[in-house]
Structure 1
Amino acid sequence: MIIDESLPGKEECVGSLKNILDALYVLNGKWKLALILCLVQSSKRFNEIQNEITGISSKILAKELKDLELNDFIKRNVYPTTPVSIIYEATEYALTLKNVIGELSAWGEQHREKVKQSMRKQS
């Protein structure tokens, strides 16, 4: 409930909605923020990422990594070893999501029980 705050005007709501839709466009999906968080902690190989984020298939992981690379959230480094080594790392741009990830984490912790109940209802 909003207390003692005036409601935003129509223009402010429309602007906020556009901003949110833009953010969701590049961060949509179940895995993107988890992948960014995983790579912010340290650079990793494909299999290391897949082992750390349980439940993601190889096909989806490959697609999500490509999307994140296209949007400059991660960098794919290819090293000419035998066999070729590919290491993924978070970019400086990904670090701009630090506050967003922190707020989502705090919200998730605060509302964990309600979210679990909702998940049980869906299954």
Structure 2
Amino acid sequence: VRSLESQACHPADLRALLDFSGGWDSKAAGLVGWGPGAAAACCSWTGVACDLGRVVALDLSNRSLHGVISPAVASLDGLAALNLSRNALCGAAPEALARLPMLRALDLSANAL
């Protein structure tokens, strides 16, 4: 997996990441670089791993994230690993996660789901 700052972020993945994180306080969660101002470089955002500009892994464990998991994460169709463990997420996991064709590792433990 390559996660180089020089990689351009795929536009669909950028939209999905921005929608996914829309309700979070990125600074309070220590999500360096997250937001529309750093759009082209989303592969260098904290917790994001890319391969050829496509998001393949998200590790946002232990980031004090609150709220529900946005179904927008299911738009990351190249996502192979998602770790949202040890946060304060609530509600139900989006059913759309089951339709991610590449997802092999999912950790939602230690939340209020």
Is TM more than 0.5 here? no
The structure in which a higher percent of residues are helix is 1
Larger Rg: 1
* Higher fraction of strand: 2
User: Whose RCO is larger (CA < 8 A, sep 6+)?
Assistant: 2
